[in-house]
C-alpha cells in the first residue's frame, strides 16, 4: 500500500470499513476493481493513496460479473493458427483493459455509496456513545482532549463487567497506549501499573508521564474498586537493576543511585 496508516493484520477487513475509520473526511474514491480471483492472494484493499484518492480492490467489478459473450466471442479463437491466436489474445487483453476503464466510474459510484453507508453508521454510533456517556455518567466525550482517555471512555458503558478485571483491563491499557503494560498488587488496597516505553530522552519521558496522568486518573476513578489506590510508572526496559562486573550496567528511567 502507498501509505502505512493501515497496519498488517487488518487486511481481511473490508475496504469500506478501513477507509471509513482511517480517512473519514474522504467521501469519494476512484475505485479500481481487480478480480475476485486476486482476493485469494491479498486483502480486500490492495492499495490506497489518500492524495490522489485512488484505490485498488481485490473484488469483482461490473465488467467481471457481466457475461463474457457481451464483449468477446470465445468461438473466434477456436480455429486460429498459433501466431494469429497469440496476436488476437493480446488484442483481447488490450480491449479488456479499455472496457474496464469504461466501467471505472460505475464501480467507483457503487463503492462510494457503500462507503458512505459505513461513514454514516460510524457517525451515528459515535453520537449514540456520546449521548449515553453524557446521560448515564455525566461525562462529555466531545470535550475530552486526552487521546488515551478518548479511547478508554466508551468502555464506561461496560464498566460494571470490567471493574476489577485487571487482566482484561491491563490488556486494554496496552492496546490504548500502544506498548506493553503489566501490573502488580503490593497490597490488597493498592494496584501499580508499569508501562514499558523504550528510548525516551528526559524531556520525552516527562511529557509521556504527564500525558498518561489523565488516563490513569480516569482509570482509577472508574475501573478500579473504590477502596484501591491506583498508581503507575514508566520503565525503559524489563531488566532489573543489577550491579555486576561481568556485564554492562543498565539504567532505566526509574533507577535510583
Burial class of residue 55 in the structure, from the number of CB atoms within 10 Å of its CB (0-12 exposed, 13-18 middle, 19+ buried):
buried
pTM: 0.51
Q: What is the pLDDT of residues 205-256, one digit of tens each?
A: 889 999 999 999 999 989 988 888 999 999 876 555 555 555 554 556 666 5
> What pLDDT shows up at residue 14?
84
CB 178 within 8 A of CB 196: no
Three-state DSSP state, 145 = coil
CB 54 within 8 A of CB 32: yes
CB 234 within 8 A of CB 197: yes
Q: What is the pLDDT of residues 160-207, one digit of tens each?
A: 888 888 888 898 899 889 889 999 998 888 999 999 988 788 888 889
**Has residue 28 got a pLDDT over 70?**
yes
Q: Taking all residues of the chain, what is their mean pLDDT, rounded to a whole number?
A: 79
Strands (E), the chain: 30-33, 45-49, 54-57, 181-187, 190-196, 229-235
**Which range (17-21, 58-62, 253-257) has the least confidence?**
253-257
Task: Provide the pLDDT confidence category of residue 78 given band limits of 50, 70 and 90.
Answer: low
CB 168 within 8 A of CB 162: yes
Backbone angles phi, psi at 183, to 5 degrees: -140, 155
> What pLDDT shows up at residue 7?
54
Burial 148-172 (b: 16+ CB within 10 A, else e): bbebbbebbeeeeebeeebeebbeb
> What pLDDT shows up at residue 126?
73
**Has residue 150 got a pLDDT over 80?**
yes
Question: CA–CA separation, 172 vs 151, rounded Å?
Answer: 10
Amino acid at each position: 500500500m502507498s501509505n502505512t496508516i493501515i497496519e498488517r493484520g487488518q487486511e481481511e477487513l473490508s475496504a469500506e470499513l478501513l477507509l471509513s475509520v482511517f480517512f473519514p473526511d474522504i467521501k469519494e474514491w476512484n475505485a479500481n476493481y481487480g478480480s475476485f480471483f486476486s482476493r485469494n492472494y491479498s486483502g480486500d484493499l490492495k492499495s490506497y493513496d489518500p492524495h490522489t484518492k485512488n484505490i485498488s480492490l481485490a473484488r469483482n467489478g461490473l465488467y467481471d460479473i457481466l457475461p463474457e459473450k457481451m464483449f468477446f466471442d470465445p468461438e473466434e479463437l477456436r480455429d486460429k493458427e498459433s501466431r494469429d491466436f497469440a496476436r488476437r489474445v493480446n488484442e483481447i487483453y488490450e480491449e479488456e483493459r479499455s472496457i474496464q476503464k469504461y466501467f471505472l466510474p460505475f464501480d467507483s459510484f457503487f463503492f462510494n455509496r457503500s462507503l458512505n453507508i459505513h461513514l454514516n453508521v460510524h457517525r451515528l454510533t459515535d453520537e449514540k456513545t456520546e449521548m449515553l456517556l453524557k446521560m448515564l455518567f455525566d461525562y462529555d466525550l466531545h470535550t475530552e482532549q486526552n487521546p488515551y482517555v478518548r479511547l478508554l471512555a466508551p468502555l464506561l458503558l461496560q464498566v460494571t463487567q470490567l471493574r476489577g478485571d485487571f487482566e482484561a483491563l491491563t490488556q486494554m491499557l496496552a492496546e490504548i497506549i500502544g506498548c506493553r503494560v503489566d501490573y502488580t498488587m503490593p497490597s490488597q488496597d493498592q494496584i501499580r501499573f508499569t508501562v514499558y516505553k523504550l528510548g525516551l530522552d528526559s524531556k520525552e519521558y516527562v511529557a509521556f508521564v504527564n500525558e498518561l496522568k489523565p488516563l490513569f486518573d480516569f482509570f482509577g476513578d472508574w475501573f478500579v474498586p473504590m477502596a484501591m489506590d491506583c498508581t503507575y510508572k514508566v520503565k525503559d526496559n524489563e531488566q532489573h537493576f543489577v550491579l555486576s562486573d561481568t556485564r554492562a550496567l543498565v539504567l532505566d528511567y526509574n533507577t535510583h543511585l
